[in-house]
Structure 1
Amino acid sequence: MNRFALTFAAAMALAVPAFAGPQYVDGTGFAVSGYDVVAYRGLAQSPIGQTQPEGVRGRSDITAEYNGATWAFATEENRAKFLENPAFYAPQYDGHCAYGVSKGGKVPGNPNLWRIVDDKLYLNITDVVVGFWEEDVPGNINLAEGNWPGLEVNDASTNVIPKFTSEGPISN
């Protein structure tokens, strides 16, 4: 009976998704400053060292709730894709800067400073930080993955993103 109980408990732990810490939400009131996280998958990534294309702003009338935040989407199709598997589309580290997490802190992620690595979306805070991040992307991800469990329980950052102005999603 004990073996069954342990097996059942282990199976349930794997079946129930682990919820992330508090999602970073800026003054727009939206996760990822109102940018459509599904749309990143359709953008052509620039090589390391080159500026990525800007993200796609979502619309205020096409939204979904996930991880305690409201997410905006450019199309109903993107919203539906997100709802099928939100953890796949949501940025790593609850939208905080990946390089910041690799250094042991939570600072905001800028939706226009992004990169998809191994099918995961990462955001960074400033173009200078992107340079540090890109010096060793795999190494920085490894450091961030090691730091994240201890940081995840902390409150989301309340800082604003430097040199970034967002009016949030496009109005309907």
Structure 2
Amino acid sequence: MKHIINADPLGKIALQGYDPVAFHSIGKAVKGNPYIAAEYGGYKYLFASEDNKAIFAKDAKKYVPAYGGYCAFGVSLGVFFPVEIETWEIIDGRLVLQYNLEIKHKFEENKEENLRKANENWAKIEEGQ
């Protein structure tokens, strides 16, 4: 399985430096501290606290963003788009991001079908097909 992550190409920092646990635990986008970091899948995730880092370490798969942190609508179309953090939402326990708020609304118009397509495409991408 490939790890394809929307990350800073130089520092390999995922999620634009935001704390992946905070989205789930406090329902907010919180910048992580570069001194509180963990690696997963060859990429670095930053955290606002040592507690969040410990939570992540116990079950990283739960907290890493869906579709490698790329735009879910883009993945449903088979392409990679960057994301704006303010588009985040938790869907079925997963952090999902979109290109921008307009695309997020478009995704919501047919959410179930778009999620189905994104999941199918992502599975193929991870398998390397």
With normalisation by structure 1, the TM-score equals 0.68
Identity of aligned residues (%): 35
Match of 2:90 among 92, 116, 123: 116
Find runs of 4+ consecutive structure 1 residues off by over 3 angstroms. Answer: none
Q: How many residue pairs are counted as aligned between the two chains? A: 127
Deviation at 1:125, TM superposition (A): 1.2
Partner of residue 33, structure 1: 16
Contact 1:20 1:67 in 2 (8 A): no
Partner of residue 164, structure 1: none
Match of 1:138 among 107, 112, 121: 112
RMSD: 1.8
1:100, 1:71 → 2: CA distance? Answer: 23
- The gaps in structure 2 that reach 5 residues or longer are none
Where relative contact order (Cα < 8 A, 6+ residues apart) is larger, the structure is 1
2:85, 2:119 → 1: CA distance? Answer: 20
2:22, 2:126 → 1: CA distance? Answer: 26
Deviation at 1:153, TM superposition (A): 5.7
- The gaps in structure 1 that reach 5 residues or longer are 1-18, 45-52, 155-172
- Structure showing the higher helix proportion among its residues: 2
Matches for 1:158-169 after TM superposition, within 5 Å = none
Contact 1:115 1:121 in 2 (8 A): yes
The AA in structure 1 aligned to 2:22 is A
With normalisation by structure 2, the TM-score equals 0.88
2:100, 2:46 → 1: CA distance? Answer: 22
Partner of residue 38, structure 2: 64
- Structure showing the higher strand proportion among its residues: 2
Radius of gyration: which is bigger?
1
Contact 1:32 1:109 in 2 (8 A): no
